[in-house]
Structure 1
């Protein structure tokens, strides 16, 4: 039985391009981001990938990435679930700020701690630990059962919500996950064993 999960971070967004903290804000994809999502769909189509169900966040950059991928594999009308549990980490008071301006205001070291620590949230926002506490229950109750039922599942979301899932799937420590960066529009293909352990992982970079 094939048990396949494809994780895909959204393509470049307008605020990625402008070096802004995005979080739960809802900017669109750039032309490059759209091209990245279309390319992801083509790569998966070239592999003969077909999906049974798709999941995405409540934000348009992930939703549009999901749709471009589905268009690319010839499944434009596939059942797709949207949930804010898969939203990007909430950057709180940093949302909308230029990252360089934030460093000038709070200092390089403090901003680095907020961005890269596991459990220190920015003011009014979420840490990676907080994001995982929101994302993982949804993954366990809604996404993983579909995979374990022998389905091919697409999950198009965000850098931090997906990192919280990758942390569990790859059995990474709190320190190890901080070194993991997911490329925009780059699919990661997991194949699962019957006991939910990972049989294989492939990154379509």
Structure 2
């Protein structure tokens, strides 16, 4: 039985381009972001991968990325579930601020701590630990059972919400996950064993 799980980070957003903290704000994709999303679809098609079901967040940039991927795959009406559990990490008071503005306000060391620590929350926002605490139960209860039943599954989401899944799949620690980066438009292709461990992993870069 094939147990396929593919994770795709949304294409570049307008705020990625402007170096702004995005979180739960909802900017659209840039032209490059659209190209990355379509390129992810082309890469998946070239690899001969198809899907039975899809998941995405409540944020438009992830939803648009999924739409563009499915268009490239020729399955625009694939059954899709949207859930807030897959949203990006909430950056709270940092949301909408340029990273340099945030450093000027709170200091570079403090901003770095908020961005790269595991369990330190920015004011009004979530730590990576908080993000993982909402993403993983959803994955275990909703997504993983379908993958283990043989439903080929694609998830388009965000850098930090996907890091929560990568942490479990790749068996990373709270320290090693901090260095894990997922590029926009990159597709992480996992084949799982029956016990939910990883049989194989391949990273497909978007075909631009």
TM range (shorter): over 0.9
Corresponding position of 1:70: 70
In angstroms, what is the RMSD of aligned CA positions? 0.5
TM-fit CA distance, 1:151: 1.4
TM-fit CA distance, 1:72: 1.0
Structure 1's unaligned 5+ residue stretches are none
TM-score, normalised by the number of residues in structure 1: 0.99
After superposition, residues 107-126 of structure 1 pair within 5 angstroms as: 107-126=107-126
Moved over 3 A (4+): none
Corresponding position of 1:130: 130
Match of 2:77, SS? Answer: coil
Corresponding position of 2:163: 163
Structure 2 Cα separation of the partners of residues 70 and 134 of structure 1:
26
- Tell me if 1:8 matches 2:1: no
TM-fit CA distance, 1:48: 1.4
Corresponding position of 2:91: 91
Match of 2:175, SS? Answer: helix
Structure 2 Cα separation of the partners of residues 47 and 89 of structure 1:
31
Structure 1 Cα separation of the partners of residues 145 and 68 of structure 2:
25
TM-score, normalised by the number of residues in structure 2: 0.98
Corresponding position of 1:150: 150
Corresponding position of 2:198: 198
Corresponding position of 2:23: 23
TM-fit CA distance, 1:31: 0.4
Structure 2 Cα separation of the partners of residues 32 and 182 of structure 1:
16
Cα deviation code 1:61-114 (max 9, x no counterpart): 000001111111111000000001000000000000000110111111100000
Match of 2:166, SS? Answer: helix
Match of 2:40, SS? Answer: helix
Structure 1 Cα separation of the partners of residues 17 and 106 of structure 2:
22
